[in-house]
């Protein structure tokens, strides 16, 4: 129910009804609805921590260990897909105490992955121009995103998905002839990061609506749509709640504006970035860099869109899905053009190349910090390098 309806929109009465028991009977087993979400997230992380280390025992060759890590992670991810997808989208709804515990466990698993990558770099089995920290983040981005798009009834099996991820991550999406054209990313920390550019208002937007959308996006991305009230949006702007309704009819308007604006803007930014580039390989690189720069410029809006779009009414959700599909179609068309020109490998369907690179890119939202050592452009260069060239030494 949390996966299908969202945590905030699900009641304990509905959960009890699905189990055909009285609502009061739930509380013999759980303390609250939040306790269910906590147990769900806890079991999700613990599953990876219990499955992966034993699977690596006895394997000494670094790349074989990474291949086994991918297979085991994907197996656990998809065996408990709804649970893992729910953790990815609903974890922020936990109380600070429970959230801190889950974050600590997730970091323990991330350290395990990072340690494998560090050892592989020391053995010369992985490229050394990208720190193990960032290789592991891009790696987990791609794998975990699959919990949100994989369907068991499609042609690709779980084993096939693991094979695909092994190929893309270790060997890259570029053809062997094209890899010679790929530069190493410049990840030199900047002394002072460039100022974050405010998004420009679209035609017809008023300054007040712009401020409303920004305030709502900040709250929705941290507290969730259902957990945010219009009173809180108004308070963040220092205005009366009643004043909101001169500009919107209801809270859903704000979520719709956020989703529509973020998807239209990223599509326009990527289309503009690749428009003047004729070389198919460079167009793919430009697409990745433009996507990440646009996404991180409007970080709150994109985070709210990815996590909260399902709270929209059916008609509005269909419109947002249409915009999302249009954008994914643009990304796929760029990849297909590169395949036809021979600079991207053709043994992997463009559909799965598209889903893999979207995972690498979109989950940057989870770990990017504006005061961190890398700029959005540097992160874009890095993701493009891993996607196109793979993690193997060049």
User: In which band, very low, low, confident or very high, does the pLDDT at 193 lie, cut at 50, 70 and 90?
Assistant: low
**Tokens coding 64:** 């074989």
3-state SS, 121-135, equals HHCCCCCCCCCHHHH
* Structure letter (DSSP) for residue 343: S
Query: Quick count: other Cβ atoms within 10 Å of Cβ 82?
Result: 13
Q: Does the pLDDT at position 218 exceed 90? A: no
Query: How many CB atoms sit inside 10 A of residue 344's CB?
Result: 25
Give exposure, 312-324, as e/b (b: 16+ Cβ within 10 Å). beeebeeebeebb
* Domain edges within the chain: 38-181
Using CA atoms, how far apart are residues 28 and 312, in angstroms rounded to an integer?
A: 34
Q: What is the pLDDT of residue 206?
A: 61
The whole-chain average pLDDT of the chain stands at 90
Q: Per-residue DSSP letters for 145-184?
A: HHHHH--TTSS--HHHHHHHHHIIIII-SB-TTGGGGPPP
- Confidence at residue 192, expressed as pLDDT on a 0 to 100 scale: 52
pLDDT tens digits along 291-326: 999 999 999 999 999 888 888 888 999 999 999 999
Q: How far apart are CA 87 and CA 61, in angstroms?
A: 32
Neighbouring-strand partners of residue 344: 174
Q: Which residue has better confidence, 124 or 307?
A: 124
Alpha carbons 380 and 382: distance in angstroms, whole number: 5
Confidence of residue 232 (pLDDT cuts 50, 70, 90): confident
Distance (Å, whole) CA 219 – CA 214: 9
pLDDT attached to residue 84? 95
pLDDT of residue 195: 45
**CA–CA gap between residue 240 and residue 219 (Å, rounded):** 17
C-alpha pair distances (Å), 242 with each of 75, 149, 233: 51, 40, 11
22 vs 244, more confident = 22
CB contact at 8 A, 126 and 62: yes
Predicted local distance difference test score (pLDDT) of residue 299: 92
Answer yes or no: is pLDDT of 163 > 90: yes
Of the candidate ranges 84-98, 113-127, 338-352, the one whose mean pLDDT is the lowest: 84-98
What pLDDT, in 10s, does the model give residues 32-73? 999 999 999 999 999 999 999 999 999 999 999 999 999 999
Q: Which residue from 260, 296, 295, 289 is spatially nearest to 274, judged by alpha carbons?
A: 289
Would you tell me which CATH number, out of the four given (2.40.30.10, 1.10.357.10, 3.90.78.10, 1.10.760.10), belongs to the domain 38-181?
1.10.357.10
Residue 191 has what pLDDT? 58
């Amino acid at each position: 129910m949390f996966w299908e309806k969202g945590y905030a929109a699900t009641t304990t009465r509905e959960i009890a009804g699905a189990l055909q028991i009285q609502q009061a009977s739930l509380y013999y087993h759980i303390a609250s609805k939040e306790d269910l979400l906590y147990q769900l997230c806890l079991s999700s992380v613990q599953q990876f921590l219990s499955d992966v280390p034993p699977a690596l025992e006895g394997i000494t060759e670094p790349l074989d260990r990474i291949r086994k890590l991918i297979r085991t992670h994907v197996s656990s991810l998809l065996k408990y897909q709804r649970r893992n997808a729910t953790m990815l989208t609903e974890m922020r709804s936990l109380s600070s105490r429970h959230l801190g515990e889950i974050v600590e466990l997730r970091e323990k698993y991330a350290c395990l992955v990072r340690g494998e990558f560090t050892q592989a770099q020391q053995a010369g089995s992985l490229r050394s121009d990208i720190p193990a920290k960032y290789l592991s983040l891009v790696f987990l981005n791609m794998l975990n995103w699959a919990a949100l798009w994989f369907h068991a009834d499609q042609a690709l099996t779980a084993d096939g998905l693991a094979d695909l991820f092994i190929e893309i991550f270790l060997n890259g999406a570029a053809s062997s002839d094209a890899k010679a054209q790929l530069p190493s990313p410049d990840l030199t920390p900047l002394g002072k990061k460039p100022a974050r550019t405010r998004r420009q208002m679209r035609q017809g937007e008023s300054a007040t609506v712009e401020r409303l959308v920004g305030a709502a996006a900040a709250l929705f991305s941290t507290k969730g749509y259902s957990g945010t009230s219009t009173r809180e949006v108004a308070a963040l702007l220092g205005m009366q709640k009643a004043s909101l309704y001169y500009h919107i009819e209801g809270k859903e308007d704000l979520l719709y504006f956020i989703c529509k604006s973020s998807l239209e803007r990223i599509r326009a930014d990527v289309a503009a970035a690749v428009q003047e580039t004729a070389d198919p390989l460079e167009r793919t690189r430009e697409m990745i860099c433009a996507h990440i720069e646009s996404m991180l410029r409007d970080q709150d809006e994109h985070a709210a869109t990815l996590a909260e779009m399902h709270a929209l009414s059916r008609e509005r959700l269909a419109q947002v899905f249409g915009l999302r599909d249009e954008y994914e179609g643009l990304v796929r068309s760029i990849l297909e053009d590169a395949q036809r020109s021979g600079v991207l490998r053709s043994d992997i369907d463009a559909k799965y190349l598209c889903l893999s690179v979207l995972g690498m890119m979109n989950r940057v939202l989870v770990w990017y910090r504006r005061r961190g050592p890398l700029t959005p452009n540097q992160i874009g260069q890095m993701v493009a390098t891993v996607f196109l060239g793979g993690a193997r030494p060049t």
